[in-house]
Amino acid sequence: MLIGYARPSVEDPECQQQLMLLKSFGCTKIYVEMHASPKNRLQLENLLEQVEVGSRLVVAKLYTFADSTRQLVELLNILETKKTTFFSIHENIDTNNEKEYPFIKILSCLSDFQSDAISEKTKAGLSLAKEKGIVSGRPRKADENVKKAIELYESKQFTLAEIKEKTGISRSTLYRYLEN
């Protein structure tokens, strides 16, 4: 059974182009989302619940089906467990013809690569900032306020609320400084 899936996009807000393409491809059942949002995709959930073994899911573009590489990997794995093949018309990606190297495996590797690349760039940026003397994270409280808060606390004449009011140092921040 050929099953189609369509979701509104900027270039096709009513899904008309996608519907024409899916019908011309021979889809007998087409699930159409009512909105473009990546959240609350009820038709996709229905499709994944109702898809039968041996079916073939067809989309106009990969972006119609998934919003990220990671989500695409997850959705294709779900289809694979349900023994359903996938075809994206625009990209000409067909999981039914995977004789040499499975598309899902390639995609999974690309997803891992993408995550690793982002992680490495983040680490490199933090390292470079550290070399330049740029401190990351939340700014520290002024030392004079902290010292005053500690003195007030140790005098045992003020409540934590009063100390916070006078110095701007919260209870958790004060306790953190007292531990050190």
**Residue 45, domain CATH:** 3.40.50.1390
pLDDT score recorded for residue 101:
59
- When pLDDT is cut at 50, 70 and 90, the band that residue 141 belongs to is low
Domain of 166 in residue numbering reads as 143-179
Count of all residues that appear for the chain in the document: 180
Residue 82 lies in a domain: yes
Average pLDDT over residues 67-74: 86
Range 72-97 average pLDDT: 90
Q: What pLDDT score was predicted for residue 10? A: 86
Three-state DSSP class for residue 76 = helix
User: Within a domain: residue 136?
Assistant: no
pLDDT of 107: 78
Residue 100 has pLDDT above 60, yes or no: no
pLDDT average, residue stretch 91-107? 75
Q: How many domains does the chain have?
A: 2
Residue 82 CB neighbour total at 10 angstroms? 16
Last residue of a domain, one of 98, 114, 135: 98
74 in a domain, yes or no?
yes
Same structural domain for residues 151 and 90?
no
In a domain, 137, yes or no: no
Same domain, 94 and 17: yes
Mean pLDDT, rounded, of the chain: 88
| Residue 88 placed within a domain | yes
Of residues 50, 3, 57, the one with CA closest to residue 30? 3
Name residue 85's beta-bridge partners.
56
Confidence label for 99 from pLDDT (cuts 50, 70 and 90): low
Confidence band of 20 (pLDDT split at 50, 70, 90): very high
* 159 and 91 fall within a common domain: no
- 99: Cβ–Cβ under 8 A, 6 or more apart, which residues? none
Q: Are residues 6 and 92 in the same domain?
A: yes
Asked whether residue 23 carries a pLDDT value surpassing 60, the answer given is yes
Q: Say yes or no: 19 and 87 in one domain.
A: yes
Please report the pLDDT score of residue 17 as a whole number: 96
pLDDT band at 139 (very low <50, low <70, confident <90, very high): confident
The CA distance from 81 to 34, in Å, is 27
Residue 134 covered by a domain: no
| pLDDT tens digit sequence for 39-65 | 889 999 999 999 999 999 999 998 899
Average pLDDT, stretch 25-32? 96
- pLDDT higher than 90, residue 110: no
